[in-house]
Amino acid sequence: MSDTILQCRNIKKTYPRLSLDLDFSVSQGELVSIIGPSDSGKSTVLKLIAGFVNPDSGIVAIDGQVVTHLPTEKRNTAVVFHDYALFPHMNVEQNVAYSLKQRKIAKDDMIPEIRRLLELVNLSGFEKRGIEDLAADEKLRLALARALASDPCILLLDEPLMLLDSKKRFELRNEIRQIHLKSGVTTVYVTNDKEEALSISDRIIVMKNGKIDQIGTPEDIYRRPGTEFTATFTGECNILPYDVILKTLRVPETERSKVIYQCFGPDHKLLFRPEDMVVNDMPGLPFPEFFPHLRFENAKIIRCEYLGKEYLVTAQYDEFIIKVYTVYRPASDCITAGIRMNKILEFNDGRLIRH
């Protein structure tokens, strides 16, 4: 691809408890998130790109130039760490100017440039403030401004919202997206919060044990997860064995064997999201009829969690455990839920084989 700005080809790096094996590329102007559980190697990928760590083998190329063995300062990347790493002996203006001085910007041009950058991150008027006088979100904005001041090819964000409360996280993730769109700088964003990644990314890389599990758009990752791991990591889901079909399939008797034969192998697993299920939580009410579907009649409620806008109900049907979302708290201790066949993903040996 001509517009590829970052390439990581056959990167291998071995640690005592982790082996990294990577192969991916990022296009110009993209915001790519890297998500995964703790110790899956997300931050190490960032360090490899920035040059804090050298790979055992493989190639890192930025803007067409191989930088695998170049020191950090020659790679034209900028990093924002989770603790922001602001220089404590400098004020806001000096922190931003630190990057500009390296670019040898003339003194006369420096002040307008600092103002522009601070305005970009909504920090106008904070020029003379000390670092200790800034709130956590303001520190993040400053760290972003300082990073952008170095005019990087690639902006690397290492869990930047980790220290913020949930409200600020929500606000700042949208601002990061806005800043990315305005500045147009290619961004690699590491997080372990799936919502953050799904909401702001152009593409997502899901990592597991040092390897890439799936790369795709947020919709692909959530709706068509390539593996069972990606499906469970990116959201709540029900994973049930093949047997559930025999017990819950609702389809005219004439077509039953045909559906079972055509769709599912006996060793396969079925996966579907709780929000795709249709729920009837009022006993006595008829369940809406649609075909074909799986129906879990009078499943016994084990747990009901209030999530604010809805309830997450965990229920047991036969030997199967299912999770569903309901708007109202179930009136009885049983619930009936169904899922259309076209919403069900089929996995074999942890990999998606049919959607």
Partner 1 sequence: MKRNDTFIRTYPLAGVILFLVLALAPLGFSVAAGAQDAVKLVSDRTALMALADCLCLSAACTLAALLLGLPGARIMARTAFPCKGILRWLYCVMTLVPVFYIRLCCKVVPFPSIGKPWMWEGAVLALLSVPSVVFITGEFWRRLDPGMEQCASSLKTPGGRIYRTITMPRIRAAATASALYVFARCFTYMMAAKTTVDALSSSLNVICAIIGLLVLIPLFITADKAMCRKDRSKGLPQQKPCCAAGHIFVFIYVIVSLCVAAAPLVLILLKSIRTPEGFSFTAYIGLFKTVYTSGSRTFICSLILLAGSLIISLLIALRISYGASDSRFVLALALAPLAMGPYAFASGMRGLFAFIPSVPLIVPGILSHTVMTVPFMVLVLTPAVRRVPDTLRNVSRSLGYSESRSFMRMDRKLLGPHIAAACFVGAAASLGDFGASFISGLASVPVQIDSFISTGDLQHACALGFILTLICLLSISIGRAIMRKSHV
Of 71 and 241, the one with the shorter C-beta distance to partner 1 is: 71
Smallest distance from partner 1 to CB 249, Å: 54
Separation of alpha carbons 204 and 231, rounded Å:
13
Task: Give residues with Cβ within 8 angstroms of 333, minimum separation 6.
Answer: 300, 301
Closer residue to partner 1, CB minimum distance, 162 or 263: 162
Which is closer to partner 1, CB of 154 or CB of 324? 154
Torsional sign, CA 70, 72, 74, 78: positive
| Interior angle at CA 126, CA 125 and CA 129, nearest 5 | 140
Q: Do 337 and 277 meet the contact criterion of CB atoms below 8 Å apart?
A: yes
Which H or E element spans position 97?
A: helix 92-102
Rounded to a whole number of angstroms, the minimum distance from the CB of residue 168 to partner 1 is 20
- Contacting positions for partner 1 (CB under 8 A): 47, 50-53, 71-73, 75-79, 81, 83, 85, 87-89, 98-99, 102-103, 146-147, 149-150, 152, 156
Minimum Å gap between C-beta 154 and partner 1 is 10
Minimum distance of partner 1 from residue 317's CB (angstroms): 43
DSSP structural state of residue 286:
P
Backbone phi, then psi, for 159, in 5-degree steps?
45, 60
Among residues 84 and 233, whose Cβ is nearest to partner 1?
Answer: 84
Q: Provide the minimum distance between the beta carbon of 23 and partner 1 in the complex, in angstroms, as a whole number.
A: 24
In angstroms, the CA 91 to CA 88 distance is 8
| DSSP, res 287 | P
In whole angstroms, how close is the CB of 149 to partner 1 at the nearest point?
8
- Element at 15 (helix H, strand E): strand 4-15
By beta-carbon proximity to partner 1, the closer residue of 103 and 354 is 103
Q: 42 vs 293, which CB is nearer to partner 1?
A: 42
